[in-house]
Structure 1
C-alpha cells in the first residue's frame, strides 16, 4: 500500500470513529449471531399436519445452526386449539412457540394478548438475521398475522387455499371438461356418479363443523360473500346463504358417497386417493399423498384447478396458519430464532415442492429449478398462484369460531339429509346470534 493510500485509509477510519452513530449502525449489521442463545431449549406446540412433520424432520438443522435444542410436539388440530387455549388461560403455558390457525384463533389470541408483538424483533438487527428478508412475505399473509390494533403477534407460515382436485382419467372417459363454475361442477359430478361401480362425482366435507369451510366456498360465489358483516351482524339466513346451502347440499346428497355427513378431510382424501371420486374441493396442503405411487391409485392422474366461480363472484377460500411466541416464555430470543428458521426460505420451499401447502413467502414460487424437479405438475403451482389472486378468508374473524362452525355445521349436515335450507339456517342463526353478541360485549 502506498503512503498516500495508507494516509487516506487512516483519515477514513478516523472519520468513521468520529461518527459513532455510523459505527453503531455498521456494528449492528454484524452483530447477529445464530449461536447467541446456544444451550437454551425451546418448546414448540404445533398442529399435526404435513408442514409440522417437515419441521420436526429437519429440526436438527436448526439445532446445529444455533446450539438451541427443540422439543416439538405435533397435536391433532382440534385438540391442539383446546390445549393451547387452556394453557394460555392458566398463565403457565408449557410451550414457547405455538402454531396458530388464524382462521379460527386469530381474534381470540389477539384479544387476550397471549403472543408477543414481533415487530420490535423484526426491527432489531441483532435479533433478526440479515438474510431473513421480511419483504419476501406476501401482503395477504402479513395482513392475516396482524391484529386490528396493529400488533403483529404471529409470523406467517402457510396460506391454505381451497382448490379443485379432479381425476383426469374419470373426466377423460366421458369427455368432460374441467368445470369453471359451481353449476358446471354439479352437472359434471352428476354425470360421473355411478353408485353401482362405487364411483361418485364429488366428495367433500359433510361432518358438522368441518363442513362450514366447504360451504363457505359456495357462499363466496354469491353477491353477499361473507357470513358475518363488518359490524358483526349474522348473514347466515339470507337469500344468498340459503342458495349457497342448497347448492352445497345438492351436490353432496346427489353426487357424493354414502355416509359423507361423517366425512372430514381425511375421509375425503382417502376416497379420492382410491379413485372413487371425480372431484374434491379442499385445502392445497392435502395434495402430497395423492401423488404418492405407493399409497395412491390416482398418482399421476390428478388434475388441479382453481375453485369454481359462483353466480356473482369468483373467489376461493383462504385459511392461514402462523407461529406465535408466548408472552410468558422465558426464552423469547431463542423462540424468535426458531421462528426465523421455521418460516425461513428453505422450509417454505420445502412446503411448496413437497405438496405440503402454499408457503406464506413469495420466493418459492419463483424457484424454477425446484418447481421443475418437483413430483407435482406445473398445473399445481399455477393453480396456487391463481388462487392467491382470488382468495378471501373462508371464515369470519370472530372469537366463537368453533361455536359458529358447530351451529351452522349442524344445519348443513341436516340439509345434506334433505332438510329445508331456509328453516335450518334460520334456526341456526337464531341459536348463534346471542353467542356472537355476548362475545362482542366481552371484547
Structure 2
C-alpha cells in the first residue's frame, strides 16, 4: 500500500502535539484488586516524586466502572500498583460496552454513589443531569494535584481540549485518543489483484469482489443501538454531512443520505450474515479471524489485530487512511473516551487521585506498552507503544486524527440528548440496511423523530 505521508520525522513530539486534533467481550466482573492480584513490577518513584500525599485516603475503597475496552484491559493489571501507592482498594465493574452503556445512566439517574469513577461518552447528558462532578477545583487543589509532575503539556491537545465544557469547566479526564481507521486484509485483497481502497467507490468494489460464501467483503458494527454508530458517522462526515447543524439533527441531508446509502449497500451486498446485529466485538472478531476482508472502526483495535496470539491476520493486516468521496476531504470519526467522578460518590477526592494516576505520564508509558493509544505524547513516542501497536497502525491513527474534525464530533457527542440522537440514527440505518425503507426515507424518518425529542 502507499505509505501514509506524515510530517517530517514521523511521530515526533512536536508534530503530534501540534497536529493531533488541532488537528472478547467480558461478563460483568466485580472484583477487589489486591496487591497480589496480577501484580506488575513498577518503580513507584515515578509517582512518589510528585508533590502529592498519595496515602491521604489509605483504607478507602473505590469502584471503577467501565466497558470491556482496550483502556480497561490495559489499566487492569496495574491497579495493584495504585493500591500499593495509595492504600486505596479498587473494585472494578467492567462489562460489555452495550451492557455498560445501558446500565450506567439508570444507576446515575437513581443517584447511586457507585461507581465512584466511570468511563463515559454521553458528556452533555451527564453534565445536564448533574451526574458528573466538576473537576476544576480539584485541579487547582495543591493538596490533590501537582501540575508540574502531571505535565499537561505532554497531553495531546485533543485530549486536553476534549473534556472542556462551554463554560471552561472540566468534568472528566480523556483516557484515550482514537480515530476511525480502515483495516484491510492484504492477502484477501491480493487474491483479486486489489490494493487497499482509498475511495468509497473502491471500498464498495473491493468488498463486493472479496465476498464469498465463507468470507465477508466487509464487516462493521450496524446494530440498532446508538453506540454502534461510530463507523457510520465517519461515512456521514466524509460525504460532507453532519449529525447536528445549528442545533438541529441533520442526518437527513442529501450528503448524509448518500453516506448511509453507501454504508448500507456495502454491508447488505458484501457484509456477513447477521450483520444487522453486529456490534464492534463481532466485526473485530470477523476481521481478526480472516472472515472479513475489510473493516473500519477505532484505531484502538490495532493492538489486537496485530497480535498473533489473538489474530490470524496479524501478518496480513493493513492500517490505512479512511476513504474519501470524490474531491471531498476524508473526515473520519474520532473520540476520546473519558472517565469521570460520580457527583454522588462518597470518595470524590480518592476518585480524582485515581484519575490523575491513571492518566499520568508514568502510567501512560505502562499502558501504552500494552498497545493502548493513550492521551500522552510521550507514550505515543515510546518504543514500547510502537512495538505493541505497530508502526503502520500508529501512522494511520495519527493521520486519521489529523483529518478528523473534533468540534463536529463533539457537537453531537456532547449534546444533552446525544443518546436519543444516536439511537434514532442507528434505527434509521438499520431500516435502510434491511431494505425496509430507502436510505432517504429512513433518514428523514429518523431525523424527524430525533428532532421531535430535542428541547
Asked if Structure 1 and Structure 2 have the same fold, meaning a TM-score greater than 0.5 normalized by the shorter chain, the answer is yes
Q: Is the 1:163–1:316 Cα contact (8 Å) retained in structure 2? A: yes
Match of 1:283 in 2: 298
2:132 to 115, 120, 129: 115
- Please tell me whether Structure 1 or Structure 2 has the larger radius of gyration of its CA atoms: 1
What is the SS of the residue equivalent to 1:45? Answer: strand
TM-score (norm 1): 0.84
What is the SS of the residue equivalent to 1:131? Answer: helix
Deviation at 1:152, TM superposition (A): 0.3
Inter-partner Cα distance in structure 2 for 1:322 and 1:287? 20
Q: Is the 1:208–1:405 Cα contact (8 Å) retained in structure 2? A: no
Q: Is the 1:227–1:396 Cα contact (8 Å) retained in structure 2? A: no
Q: Is the 1:117–1:152 Cα contact (8 Å) retained in structure 2? A: yes
Matched, 1:236 2:251: yes
Long gaps (5+) in structure 2:
1-48
Match of 1:390 in 2: 403
Inter-partner Cα distance in structure 2 for 1:113 and 1:270? 37
Counterpart mapping for 1:185-196 below 5 A: 185-195=203-213
2:197 to 152, 156, 179: 179
Long gaps (5+) in structure 1:
1-28
Match of 1:70 in 2: 90
Match of 2:420 in 1: 403
Counterpart mapping for 1:25-424 below 5 A: 32-101=52-121, 105-129=122-146, 130-195=148-213, 198-209=214-225, 210-223=227-240, 225-229=241-245, 231-311=246-326, 312-356=328-372, 358-367=373-382, 369-372=383-386, 374-393=387-406, 394=409, 395-418=412-435, 419-424=437-442
What is the SS of the residue equivalent to 1:329? Answer: coil
Deviation at 1:107, TM superposition (A): 0.3
> What are the superposed Cα offsets for residues 40-72 of structure 1, whole Å, 9 maximum, x if unpaired?
222222222231122222101011111222122
Inter-partner Cα distance in structure 2 for 1:85 and 1:417? 30
Q: Number of residues paired by the alignment?
A: 399
Q: Is the 2:66–2:119 Cα contact (8 Å) retained in structure 1? A: yes
TM-score (norm 2): 0.82
Deviation at 1:350, TM superposition (A): 4.1
* CA 345–37 in structure 1, closer or farther in 2 if over 3 Å, else same: same
Q: RMSD of the TM alignment (CA)?
A: 2.1
